[in-house]
Amino acid sequence: MDCPKLIANIKSLGTIGGVYEYIVQAVVARNKGRCVCGECDPGGSAEPDTEFLLQLRKAPAAHYEAELKREGAQLAFQRAYDGAFLSAEGNIEERKALARSAADALQWELSLAEAEFNRIKLKTRQLEQSVMASQSLLRSIQAEGA
């Protein structure tokens, strides 16, 4: 499925890493197993790679779950911090320090939940950008091949 002419055209347009193979498969599938260049026979399956699309379909649910986890961690941390602050003795700065040390483990859990949420958000954004890039490339390849 490696048409040198097609891959060179796609790479020259500056694709986002790894997307060019998906685009080649999609173009070959759209042309019913024949390459757009008309000079080569790619052979193999004409099915586009569905792993990419499955990841994109899972993104909203993963985003929602990560957001719930982050909000739960934020609530647990805030409850522990507020409880420790209110029960501590001393001036304001001493009470803040005691509350921070009492809620240390929950602060770590909150940081991990926020990192996971941000990672999922970034991955979703990357997948969406890859889809947009692949659609643009498919349009340009179709216009060139037509």
Residue-wise DSSP of 22-37 = HHHHHHHHHTTT--TT
* CA–CA separation, 66 and 128 (whole Å): 18
Quote the distance between the C-alpha of residue 67 and its chain's center: 15
Residue 58 has what pLDDT? 83
pTM as predicted: 0.58
Mean pLDDT of 116-121: 92
Residue 46 · residue 28 · CB < 8 Å: yes
Residue 139 has what pLDDT? 80
Q: Is the dihedral of CA 74, 75, 77, 78 positive or negative?
A: positive
Model confidence at 122: pLDDT above 60: yes
* CA–CA separation, 102 and 96 (whole Å): 10
Compare 130 and 48 and report the one with higher pLDDT: 130
* CA–CA separation, 55 and 32 (whole Å): 25
Q: What are all long-range contacts of 138-143, with beta carbons under 8 Å and residues at least 24 apart?
A: 138/23, 138/26, 138/27, 138/30, 140/13, 141/6, 141/9, 141/10, 141/23, 141/27, 141/36, 142/27, 142/30, 142/36
Q: What is the pLDDT of residues 2-60, one digit of tens each?
A: 566 656 655 555 544 455 555 555 555 555 555 555 556 555 443 444 666 677 778 88
